[in-house]
Amino acid sequence: MSGASALVLVAVSARALAASARRAGFAAIAVDAFGDVDTCAACRETVVVEHAMGGFATVELESVVARLSRRQAPVGIVYGSGFDDCPSQLVALARHAPLIGCSPQALARTKDPMFFAEACAQAGLAHPEIRFTRPTNSGWLIKRRGGSGGLHVAPAPPERDVAQRRVAIPFRRRRRPS
């Protein structure tokens, strides 16, 4: 792998990206919050950033990516979770190597709850009702704008956040291919 083209992978947990990059023949350079054994094993280099468990909104990433880019000359930067509420961070990272994946502007649009709901409706896709005012009845979830994962989801809606109607999803067992 020492002669392979390098990719900088930035995510709260870059393990899956690192494994995928390695399988594709790239030298993986991970920047994440864990630096676990599996991630390190799949990477040429791993950098653990402090205070990134909840995302990168308050983490100084550009200096880390700049340093790695000078040393490793990556062909690109692939990002994962952690930028949901701070897509503008990606603009700074793209100064050091090409960004691979959707643009920061596209990420920002998909994380806008009104845009996303309208896009689903226009495409004929079922989606939960959303509102920006406090619901007067139960059956709603509150979610932080730009959040990912489920740590920020709660049943009691405080003011100033996005409420989404709770939808029951029937359990379907998937069969493994024979």
pTM of the model as a whole: 0.78
* Domain locations along the chain: 6-109, 112-165
Report pLDDT digits (tens) over 90-119: 999 999 999 999 999 999 988 888 998 999
Report pLDDT digits (tens) over 27-58: 999 999 999 999 999 999 999 999 998 889 99
By C-alpha distance, which of 107, 23, 45 is closest to 32? 45
* Average pLDDT of span 63-83: 96
pLDDT score at 172: 62
Q: Which fold has domain 6-109?
A: Rossmann fold (3.40.50)
pLDDT band at residue 173 using 50, 70 and 90 as cut-offs: low
pLDDT band at residue 2 using 50, 70 and 90 as cut-offs: low
Report pLDDT digits (tens) over 5-26: 999 999 999 999 999 999 999 9
Distance, in Å, from the CA atom of 17 to the CA atom of 38, rounded to the nearest integer, reads: 11
Cα torsion 82, 87, 92, 94 to 10°: value is 90
